[in-house]
Amino acid sequence: MAVNLYDAAYALETSIRQSDEFAELKKMYSEVNADPAAKKMFDQFRDIQMNLQQKQMMGQNITEAEVQQAQATAALVQQNEKISRLMQAEQRMSMIIGELNQLIMKPLEELYGKM
């Protein structure tokens, strides 16, 4: 029996959207966005993260000042309860996505062996 992988992927997408973890993530994200101060702080934190990731991907060096700024911003952000709860929900969702990715890659690992 042939399996349409895209149908399975869309079913997985639907399952993710209906999961308790995704519902919690959406709720926490809404709470942060409803609080102007938390939203501003969170947006600044995300901008710093994205900038550092972009530099890494391009092979550029990250300065000590940038590392210190990122650490200071992360410490400040974690003191905000709404943002902290959002980050915890993001981490749970990321772990689930990682586990799903392992399951998806399992046939290839079995075929080729672990890379």
pLDDT digits (tens, 9 = 90+) for 57-109: 999 988 889 889 899 998 999 899 999 999 999 999 999 999 999 999 999 99
Share of the chain above pLDDT 70, in %: 98
pLDDT of residue 3: 80
Question: What CATH number has the domain bearing residue 9?
Answer: 1.20.1500.10
Q: Which domain holds residue 53?
A: 5-112
pLDDT of residue 1: 62
What own/partner pairs with CB < 8 Å and gap ≥ 24 does 37-41 have? Answer: 38/80, 38/82, 38/83, 41/76, 41/77, 41/80, 41/83
pLDDT: is 115 or 60 the higher one?
Answer: 60
Number of structural domains found in the chain: 1
